[in-house]
């Protein structure tokens, strides 16, 4: 396959469209839009709710990622946005809910948590300095971003790196709370300045789209117009430096 290969670690914003989750090769998804504009293709490694820590785990544990390394021409770290979401229950505990047995207990606990999450998020945001706990604190987000960057560049020195600034949301499941976003943006900008990573400002690119109700009805994921905008902006950042 000709053209540059983009290795993209991402959360569900990279593969959800205006109605549903889509296959990774759907050409309208932003990683594929970016790759096509550069005459290449994207290798998407992503999951629902992925934080920067999930990206690091995939990089170090998935042999499919290792197999891609000899051909990678650019690294896109499209994670960090989910890190900023309110998490009234500690993330490590919340992620154990799918492992609960029997099935009836798992379903009851999950339903109870989903009911409690919006009011808990709003309450914590109003009484806890900084807005309450988030899925991953900013200091850990940038630590895992840096680990990913260093690991890939150790094998592919000199390739360009693009990361993202957290997007916005209006999701009822989180009580429309996003108190952790500002601190995460500050930490990500500081990290990018220090290591030379380029940044996609997702709030600037999709904020009006999401907050205006033009994306997915869940208030978080994007319509195709936003995917096109983010893909084009990513390609523009990579165009001067990516191998073509």
Helix (H, G, I), strand (E, B) or coil at 158: coil
Banded model confidence at residue 109, pLDDT cuts 50, 70, 90 = very high
Query: What is the percentage of the chain residues whose pLDDT exceeds 90?
Result: 93
- Asked if residue 25 is part of any domain, the answer here is yes
pLDDT of residue 24 exceeding 80, the answer is: yes
- The domain in which residue 145 lies consists of 5-85+134-238
Banded model confidence at residue 89, pLDDT cuts 50, 70, 90 = confident
pLDDT, tens digit, for every residue of 224-244? 999 999 999 999 999 999 976
What's the first-to-final CA gap in the chain, in angstroms? 12
Radius of gyration of the chain (CA): 18
64-73 long-range CB contacts below 8 Å, 24 or more apart? Answer: 65/7, 68/5, 68/7, 68/43, 69/152, 69/155, 69/156, 71/5, 72/5, 72/6, 72/7, 72/43, 72/152, 72/155, 72/156, 72/159, 73/4, 73/5, 73/6, 73/40, 73/156, 73/159, 73/242, 73/243
- Asked if residue 96 is part of any domain, the answer here is no
- Asked if residue 40 is part of any domain, the answer here is yes
- Asked if residue 74 is part of any domain, the answer here is yes
Banded model confidence at residue 11, pLDDT cuts 50, 70, 90 = very high
Q: Which two tokens stand for residue 83?
A: 């890190």
Mean pLDDT, the chain, as a whole number? 96
> CATH number, domain at 80?
3.40.50.1110
pTM: 0.94
- Asked if residue 192 is part of any domain, the answer here is yes
pLDDT of residue 3 exceeding 70, the answer is: yes
Phi-psi domain of 167 (left: phi exceeds 0; alpha: psi -120 through 50; beta: other):
beta
- Asked if residue 117 is part of any domain, the answer here is no
Q: Which two tokens stand for residue 82?
A: 């989910």
pLDDT, tens digit, for every residue of 132-168? 999 999 999 999 999 999 999 999 999 999 999 999 9
Structurally, how many domains does the chain consist of? Answer: 1
Q: Residues 52, 148: contact at Cβ < 8 Å?
A: yes
């Amino acid at each position: 396959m000709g053209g540059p290969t983009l290795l993209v670690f991402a959360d569900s914003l990279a593969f959800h469209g205006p109605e549903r989750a889509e296959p990774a090769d759907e050409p309208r998804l932003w990683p594929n839009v970016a790759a096509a504009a550069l005459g290449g293709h994207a290798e998407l490694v992503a999951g629902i709710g992925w934080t920067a820590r999930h990206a690091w785990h995939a990089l170090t544990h998935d042999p499919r990622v290792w197999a891609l390394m000899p051909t990678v021409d650019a690294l896109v770290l499209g994670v960090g946005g989910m890190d900023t979401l309110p998490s009234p229950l500690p993330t490590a505990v919340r992620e154990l809910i799918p492992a609960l047995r029997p099935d009836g207990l798992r379903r009851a606990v999950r339903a109870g948590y989903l009911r409690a999450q919006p009011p808990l998020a709003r309450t914590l945001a109003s009484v806890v300095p900084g807005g309450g706990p988030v899925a991953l604190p900013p200091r850990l987000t940038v630590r895992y971003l840096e680990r990913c960057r260093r690991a890939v560049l150790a094998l592919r020195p000199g390739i360009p790196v693009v990361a993202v600034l957290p997007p916005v949301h209006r999701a009822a499941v989180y009580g429309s709370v996003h108190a952790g976003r500002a601190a995460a943006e500050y930490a990500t900008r500081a990290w990018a300045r220090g290591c030379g990573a380029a940044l996609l400002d997702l709030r600037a690119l999709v904020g009006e789209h999401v907050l205006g109700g033009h994306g997915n009805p869940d208030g978080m994921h994007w319509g195709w117009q936003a995917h096109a905008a983010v893909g084009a902006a990513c390609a523009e950042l990579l165009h001067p430096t990516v191998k073509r």
